[in-house]
A and B are shown apart, each in its own frame.
Chain A
């Protein structure tokens, strides 16, 4: 039987996007953005601090990086835990060595479980954004709105209490959302989110509950994507960071400020055999005089002040 004729009808076939969330525009056509002190490349280092529960439910899918074996999957549980116990401290040492400023994307459940870690983050004073409740608490299409609303509230309320920060940024686990996520985030005091990987600069995002800013947190440059998903070598990871940095600085010189956003998972790059490669990439980037190392909010505020 042939397809229904509606398969050849295209109700959204008109100027702009096929949805109302944001306006269509090409990056190169926008007004040039300037970063402080004549810098041209904003460096946003996003360190993911995650909790992957052993009793993973996998609804509606198993989160990438999560449990894959029959319960109890001790290998993946403990290897992810390694990042928060050991790997993170290597990563922090590397960042501090090159005087680079991280932003921490924290699962609220991790914050609840590790007061020591939260005290450490508070003492450092770096920006904390909410990475959802935990890695198995996914936001997804078809999820009952009330259930998701409760999840957002629990995640944000808990992290605000434990961090002492107002927490205005959001990163969904697996960058997965439901059709209601943007509204729920705005209703819970979120100013920017990082799930839509469709740009290299921030842009205005519409919700029925008010405006939101989409911040460009690259998946393609994420260490988990390169090292675990693509199985590239550590040496190639460094090359890719260097090539991205060089390219964006060059483009920024012609078109205005750009952002290099790096996501680091301490359970990956914090391993003894990988940390030197992270250090090499950071050394290369930090040595470029064009680079402005800033938190996600600082970058967003600077961009917003020029809109």
Chain B
């Protein structure tokens, strides 16, 4: 075990090279719906139990099923209304189980990125070969069902190994060269993109995904009220938008159809989306588009700046 994952160097949010998003936008805004499949009876993982009760663990399983049966359509209609294309963090087995959801998202040109096969299969305990195989399966499944070359990764149930980011980048390159395996959502250290050090040396970037704005963190972990969540989203936006004058920022709302799409939570979420998209100079975009734009325009400048900071004693 290491003291530090070694993905990035300290890069203070202070006098960084200025980022300007397309058309002079100050803030890049993206919504990342997690579309997940949790198994009712998954195999046991020695390091993490999927459910708190013995099989059949209905409370957790059934509300997540609600997300797919009921919640998905609600959130999709809401994002349509505000002109937002989702960037889907996908349990890729959902392509097999619920292709109707995949088709609707594909019709809207939403992005699909890998969130593993099932959210009840953890990376913990996998050998390098096993994790590589799981990641390959997920990227190939997305390609087979949508024709998209998976750009991003969020490990299933945020379960990682030391090699997760390396393996994702490498498998992406093996399958589709530089078009796949280019960004991660697994790190929460920044409000701007960060170049990531990988063993392969591949150009790879961390895109802010925000655990704090995540509806499941808000509702299940922090247990906050729907309208307070809506207010937090607006407050998060206000400050990032203001700071975008100095250098472009990123705001992400990660969602789950079994949380944000419950009837008593839709109003607060809608008001927040209406507020954000009602501002000018907001680039409403996807994870891949942010990653590609950053890599094309700011990646090298960022690397130079990070290296220079390391030289200051």
Contact = CB atoms under 8 A, between A and B. Distances in A.
Interface of A: 1-3, 5-8, 10, 12-19, 24-29, 60-61, 140-142, 174-179, 195-200, 218-221, 229-233, 236, 239-241, 243-248, 251, 260
A220 B74 CA distance: 17
B58 A176 contact: yes
Contacts of B55: 141, 179
24 contacts: A3-B130, A18-B41, A19-B40, A25-B69, A26-B69, A26-B100, A27-B73, A29-B100, A140-B53, A141-B53, A141-B54, A174-B59, A175-B58, A175-B59, A176-B59, A196-B62, A230-B223, A236-B227, A245-B263, A247-B264, A247-B267, A248-B263, A251-B74, A260-B263
A243 B268 contact: yes
Interface stretch (B90-98, B143-151, B170-178, B181-189): B90-98
Contacts of A247: 263-264, 266-267
Contacts of B267: 243, 246-247
A200 B70 contact: yes
Interface in B151-179: none
Contacts of B85: none
A177 B60 CA distance: 12
Interface in B39-97: 39-41, 43, 45-46, 52-59, 61-66, 68-70, 72-74, 93, 96-97
Nearest to A178: B56
A256 B263 CA distance: 15
B32 interface: no
Nearest to A254: B77
Nearest to A203: B69
A198 B225 contact: no
A7 B227 contact: no
Nearest to B43: A7
B26 interface: no
A199 B69 contact: yes
A59 B134 CA distance: 37
Contact of A232 (B61, B100, B225, B265): B225
Contacts of A2: 125-127, 130
B96 A8 contact: no
Nearest to B95: A13
Contact of A12 (B39, B73, B137): B39
A12 B121 CA distance: 13
Indicate the member of B64, B70, B73, B268 with the most A CB atoms within 10 Å.
Answer: B70
Contacts of A195: 58, 62
A229 to B, nearest CB: 7
Contacts of B98: 24
Contacts of A221: 262-264
A241 B66 contact: no
A239 B227 CA distance: 9
A8 B134 contact: yes
Given A3-B125, A3-B126, A176 B53 contact: yes
B262 A220 contact: yes
B58 A177 contact: yes
A176 B60 CA distance: 11
